[in-house]
Chain A
Amino acid sequence: GAGVSQSPSNKVTEKGKDVELRCDPISGHTALYWYRQRLGQGLEFLIYFQGNSAPDKSGLPSDRFSAERTGESVSTLTIQRTQQEDSAVYLCASSHNQGSETQYFGPGTRLLVL
């Protein structure tokens, strides 16, 4: 079946602009996660959604970052007033449920803030 998809695959923006990143999880997966990977670093947890429960936002680095998810489908990660340090690969993952051990990742969105 189809895996996790993300769009756009690449995004170049100017400092101060807002960007919106999209994630389509695997159908039937109730848990959805956002991570980012800055150059030379490991993956950094940002936020996760589980069904209709309140999301765990504990990893969001600042209030410029927000994310939404409609039911158990698409999620969007929004970064407002982008800064150069926001440049990273933003990865989305989904799993069958929050107790499921394996998260399946999308290809990522490469964001470059000039």
Chain B
Amino acid sequence: DQQVKQNSPSLSVQEGRISILNCDYTNSMFDYFLWYKKYPAEGPTFLISISSIKDKNEDGRFTVFLNKSAKHLSLHIVPSQPGDSAVYFCAASALWNYGGSQGNLIFGKGTKLSVKP
């Protein structure tokens, strides 16, 4: 039973356009959400995060939106660049709801983003 779901295994976007990656979760105890980017043969790299007390966090070209009522978050990349081509993982933890003792991350299966020049 997947607690974090990324229903799109792949996404193709033209350079300069917006990339929107989606993630759904089922566990209402999750209070912290992260996006990681992964290139082949490398470990995941932290991209951006959001806590459940916010609904938006922005860092340069990357914005994460959180809709708690829908248990849905999304990552927007604008403008998309060819170097953004990678697998993007959504991850969640019940970081604060268990007093910091549930810091292990629950990952989705990832979405492979291809940005075409």
Closest-by-CB residue of B relative to A44 is B107
Closest-by-CB residue of B relative to A6 is B43
Contacts of B100 in A (CB 8 A): 97-99
**A103 at interface (Cβ–Cβ under 8 A)?**
yes
Q: Which of B17-42 contact A (CB under 8 A)?
A: 32, 34, 36, 41-42
Whether the pair A103, B105 counts as a contact (CB closer than 8 A) is yes
Contacts of B91 in A (CB 8 A): 43
Q: Contacting A48 at CB < 8 Å: which of B104, B106, B109?
A: B104
Beyond A42-B4, A42-B108, A45-B104, is A108–B95 a contact (Cβ under 8 Å)?
A: no
Q: How far is the CB of B67 from chain A (nearest CB, A)?
A: 20
Interface size on B, residues (CB 8 A): 28
Q: How far is the CB of B21 from chain A (nearest CB, A)?
A: 14
**Chain A 24-65 near chain B by CB (<8 Å), digits 1 or 0:** 000000010101000011111100100000001001000000
Q: How far is the CB of A98 from chain B (nearest CB, A)?
A: 5
**Chain A 83-114 near chain B by CB (<8 Å), digits 1 or 0:** 00000000101010111111111111000000
Q: Contacting B34 at CB < 8 Å: which of A31, A97, A98, A101?
A: A101
| Listed A/B pairs (30) with beta-carbon separation below 8 Å | A4-B43, A6-B43, A35-B105, A42-B4, A42-B6, A42-B110, A43-B44, A43-B105, A44-B107, A56-B101, A91-B43, A95-B103, A97-B100, A99-B95, A99-B100, A99-B103, A100-B103, A101-B32, A101-B49, A101-B51, A101-B95, A102-B34, A103-B46, A103-B103, A103-B105, A105-B36, A105-B43, A105-B45, A107-B41, A107-B42
**With A and B bound together, what is the CA distance between A90 and B42 in angstroms?**
11
Whether the pair B109, A41 counts as a contact (CB closer than 8 A) is yes
Interface size on A, residues (CB 8 A): 29
Q: Contacting A42 at CB < 8 Å: which of B32, B51, B89, B96?
A: B89
Contacts of B4 in A (CB 8 A): 42
Whether the pair A108, B43 counts as a contact (CB closer than 8 A) is yes
Whether the pair B103, A98 counts as a contact (CB closer than 8 A) is yes
Q: Contacting B89 at CB < 8 Å: which of A43, A99, A108?
A: A43
